[in-house]
Each structure stands twice: as structure tokens, then as C-alpha cells.
């Protein structure tokens, strides 16, 4: 069961407060005679700790666009096999001790948010250091330590109810996984169409986002097809409002996933999230902790959850179906008359999201071997053998990170929907989604 989290309220004016005070903080940062905020030196040491641990943990540093001189030199060959766990454990504990010693009562409301954010990030980095040192945690202990959440259990009975609904909708008889994959094959985007279809979807996602969110005039991204990865798509944020968005074409790209990819990696997802944090927090407030993004930390529960939920905000169901039918189906050379039923099938399969988390939990906790994990993915996630194998590789590489998608989306959606009211709901959704990245937040804020 999920442990209760401390609830911290958020004011609807948090974004306005951040924007109004940004120039003041920047002016103070540029005034060498101004007293330095005690959190600033802790934040700088946090960034350097993340970068140094990242030398031994190649997946840790998801993005860095801070001072080049802070980047440590690559490890020598004789250093690579020896993780300095005592030094890193001491540094992490010392930074938390120093942060706990800051009198939060003397900080502004926005700075207290920063304090809480940095504390949560440091706790996660300390836990990651312990994991790299050989400390064993269960799947739930790890997800709580790194991301601040524990995924609810997912029973075969609850998944079975969804499979029964799908069984009634899908054509044919016999094995449901086989029938689902035969049905979905007719919606594969031809390889030569992947790039134009994706670029069209992301252009529409960008257009819809810019109607609601003000972004710097120089924000941009490039698109690239790649192979040989355990993930389906990735946003590599480079700083200066620029992203490299990669789509893995090892496996087929289905038309029903294209808008999800465009919104998740681009607009209003990871690209927009990082631009907002760089603009309002790293540059506007001169808060250096936002120049680094450690993958295994609470910020990514919010980032992944908001990126998934952002597709729903940017493309409400009716609008999404209409755009797919009118634009994407013809562009991909697929039959638009099949769009309605395909959309219904995708709505049902989304209810199977927690199956992947349950598989990962049992597999990483040693309660399920690899063969059974593959079989579970194929039965309850309706995966092909190739998709199931890639899913196992993802879990082996990123472990409990998988909770950030379904659990993160549910938390972000619950948070936004609860606060968006009944009038001007669409506008409120966009505002709240933007506030998540223009002001500091932790998973506890979403409870």
C-alpha cells in the first residue's frame, strides 16, 4: 500500500509570483554585494554531486546545461571499476544536513518551495548512491525512495475485466493477444511515412500549446530516427531552449501512438517542461539546481506524468479523433473509416497500464522469472514477443522508473482536475500544467 504523503497546498497565483519575482532574484544574483542565499551553495554542491555520481551511473544525468567547468573529467581506466561509495554517501548526507539547517521560516513562500524541492531531490540522489553501493531494496522501497510514490497493486482480476471488454470488441475468436496484434498491424505507419506523420503531429501539438503557453521565440527542436534502444522515444534537452527528439524505429510505429509521442516528448511535454524550468527557474531565479536533471529523482515522476497527461490536455478525445481521422490517417496512407473503432480499442488498452508495473515489481523482486515476465507482458499487456522483450530490457535498465508513467499521470491528472473548477476548465488545465514547471514542485504537492 502507498504510504500517506504530507500534503502541501498550492496557490493558484504561484506562477504569477514566480514571474513577478524573477527579475528581482536575477538582479540580486548579479549584485556581488548582495548577501548570498544559503540554499545557493547547497544547490551548487548538489549539481556537482549529481555530475560526479553520473560518471559511474551513465543513465543518471538526463540533461545538463550548466557551467561547462562544473563537468568533471572522464574517469581514467583504473577508476571505472571502483565506486567511491563512502565519499558520495558522506557528501549526500552532509548536503541534506546543511539544507535541514536552513531556517525555512525566513524564506519567501517561493523559496520554501525551492527548499522542499531540493530536499526531495537530494534524498533521491542519496538513495541512488546507496543502490549503486550495493544496498538492496524491494521494487516498492526503491520507487518510494527515488520518486516518492508506491504504485498500487494490480490484480489479475482487474486486468481480466478489461480483457473481457476487449474480447467483445476485437474481431475473430481464439487467443486475445494474437487477435489484438493482428488487428493493430493494420495501423502501422509505413517506415517512409514515420517522419512526416510525426512532424505533422508535433506541429499541431506545438500550435495548440502556443495558444496557451508563452515560450521564448528561439525555442526549437530537431527530430531523429534511431534504433537499438530499450525506449520508444526520448527527449534530450540541450539547454538554450533546444531539444533533440528521437523516435526508436526498431519496432513498428502505430498511428494511435503518434500524438502521444508528439505531445509527450515535445508539446506540452518534455520540451516545453524543460524550456519553462530553464526560463523561469534556472535563468529567471538563477537557481542552479535546475541546470541538471537526474533521471532517478522525483522531478521525473511529475515530468513523465505531466507529459502523458499533456496529450489529453492538448488533444481532448473528440478533437484528437477528428485530427487523426482528417489528417494523420490519410498522411500515413491508412483507412480513416477505421479510426473510430481503433480509438475505442486504444481507450480500453490504456486501462492495462498498471500491468507493466506489476510485472516489473514481481520480476525485480524475484517473484517471477524472465520467461514468466515475458508471458505476463504478452497476456496482460497484449505485447508481441518483440515488444515484451524490449519492455523487459527497459525494466532491467531503468528498474522502478516505470512507475513514473501511469502513477505519475494519475497523480498529475488528479491534481489538475481537482483544481481546474467547472468554468474555463481548459484554460485552468493549461495554467496548472505550466505552473508545475515554472515553480518548484514535489510529488507530495500532488496529493
DSSP letter for each residue of 228-280: S-SSSEEEEEEETTEEEEEEE-SSPPBHHHHHHHHHHHTSSSHHHHHHHIIII
The residue count of the chain comes to: 447
Cell 522531478 belongs to 299
10 Å CB burial of residue 439 (0-12, 13-18, 19+) is buried
Q: What is the band of 33 on the pLDDT scale with cuts at 50, 70, 90?
A: low
What DSSP letter does each residue of 171-235 carry, written as one string? SSSS-HHHHHHHHHGGGBPPGGGHHHHHHHHHHHHHHHHHTTS---TT-EEEEEEE-S-SSSEEE
Give yes or no for residue 379 having a pLDDT over 50: yes
The pTM of the full predicted model, rounded to 2 decimals, is: 0.90
pLDDT (tens digit, 9 = 90+) per residue, 3-19? 322 222 333 334 444 44
Nearest to 356 by CA among 410, 392, 303: 392
The average pLDDT across 368-391 equals 96
Give yes or no for residue 123 having a pLDDT over 70: yes
Q: What is the band of 302 on the pLDDT scale with cuts at 50, 70, 90?
A: very high
Asked whether the beta carbons of 244 and 235 are under 8 A apart, the reply is yes
Nearest to 237 by CA among 197, 269, 280, 201: 269
Cα separation, 94 vs 309, whole angstroms: 37
Would you kindly state where each structural domain of the chain is located, as residue ranges? 1-447
Q: What is the mean pLDDT of the chain?
A: 91
- What the block records as the C-alpha cell of 180 is 489484438
Amino acid at each position: 500500500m502507498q504510504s500517506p504523503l504530507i500534503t502541501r497546498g498550492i496557490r493558484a497565483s504561484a506562477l504569477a509570483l514566480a514571474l513577478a519575482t524573477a527579475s528581482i532574484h536575477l538582479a540580486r544574483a548579479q549584485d556581488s554585494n548582495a548577501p548570498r542565499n544559503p540554499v545557493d551553495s547547497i544547490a551548487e554542491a548538489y549539481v556537482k554531486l549529481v555530475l560526479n555520481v553520473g560518471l559511474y551511473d551513465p543513465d543518471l544525468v538526463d540533461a545538463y546545461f550548466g557551467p561547462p567547468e562544473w563537468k568533471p573529467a572522464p574517469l581514467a581506466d583504473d577508476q571505472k571499476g571502483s565506486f567511491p561509495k563512502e565519499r558520495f554517501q558522506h557528501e549526500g548526507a552532509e548536503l541534506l544536513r546543511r539544507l535541514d539547517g536552513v531556517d525555512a521560516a525566513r524564506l519567501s513562500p517561493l523559496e520554501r518551495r525551492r527548499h522542499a524541492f531540493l530536499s526531495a531531490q537530494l534524498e533521491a540522489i542519496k538513495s541512488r548512491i546507496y543502490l549503486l553501493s550495493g544496498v538492496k531494496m524491494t521494487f516498492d522501497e526503491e520507487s518510494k525512495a527515488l520518486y516518492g510514490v508506491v504504485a498500487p497493486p494490480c490484480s489479475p482480476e482487474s486486468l481480466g475485466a478489461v480483457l473481457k471488454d476487449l474480447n467483445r470488441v476485437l474481431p475473430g475468436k481464439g487467443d486475445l493477444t494474437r487477435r489484438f496484434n493482428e488487428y493493430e498491424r493494420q495501423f502501422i505507419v509505413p517506415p517512409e511515412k514515420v517522419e512526416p506523420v510525426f512532424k505533422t503531429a508535433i506541429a499541431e501539438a506545438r500550435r495548440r500549446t502556443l495558444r496557451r503557453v508563452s515560450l521564448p521565440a528561439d525555442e526549437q527542436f530537431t527530430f531523429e530516427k534511431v534504433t537499438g534502444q530499450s525506449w520508444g522515444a526520448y527527449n534530450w534537452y540541450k539547454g538554450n531552449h533546444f531539444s533533440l527528439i528521437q523516435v526508436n524505429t526498431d519496432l513498428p510505429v502505430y498511428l494511435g501512438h503518434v500524438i502521444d509521442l508528439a505531445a509527450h516528448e515535445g508539446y506540452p511535454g518534455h520540451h516545453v517542461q524543460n524550456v519553462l524550468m530553464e526560463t523561469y527557474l534556472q535563468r529567471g531565479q538563477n537557481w542552479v539546481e535546475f541546470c541538471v536533471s537526474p533521471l532517478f529523482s522525483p522531478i521525473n515522476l511529475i515530468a513523465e506524468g505531466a507529459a502523458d497527461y499533456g496529450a489529453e490536455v492538448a488533444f481532448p478525445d473528440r478533437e484528437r479523433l477528428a485530427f487523426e481521422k482528417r489528417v494523420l490517417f490519410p498522411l500515413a496512407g491508412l483507412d480513416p473509416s477505421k479510426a473510430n473503432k481503433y480509438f475505442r480499442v486504444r481507450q480500453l488498452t490504456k486501462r492495462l497500464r498498471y500491468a507493466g508495473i506489476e510485472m516489473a515489481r514481481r520480476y525485480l523482486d524475484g517473484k517471477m522469472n524472465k520467461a514468466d515476465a515475458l508471458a505476463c507482458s504478452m497476456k496482460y499487456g497484449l505485447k508481441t514477443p518483440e515488444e515484451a522483450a524490449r519492455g523487459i530490457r527497459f525494466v532491467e535498465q531503468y528498474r522502478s522508473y516505470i512507475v513514473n508513467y501511469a502513477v505519475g499521470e494519475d497523480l498529475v491528472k488528479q491534481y489538475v482536475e481537482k483544481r481546474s473548477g467547472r468554468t474555463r476548465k481548459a484554460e485552468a488545465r493549461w495554467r496548472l500544467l505550466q505552473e508545475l514547471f515554472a515553480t518548484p514542485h514535489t510529488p507530495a504537492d500532488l496529493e
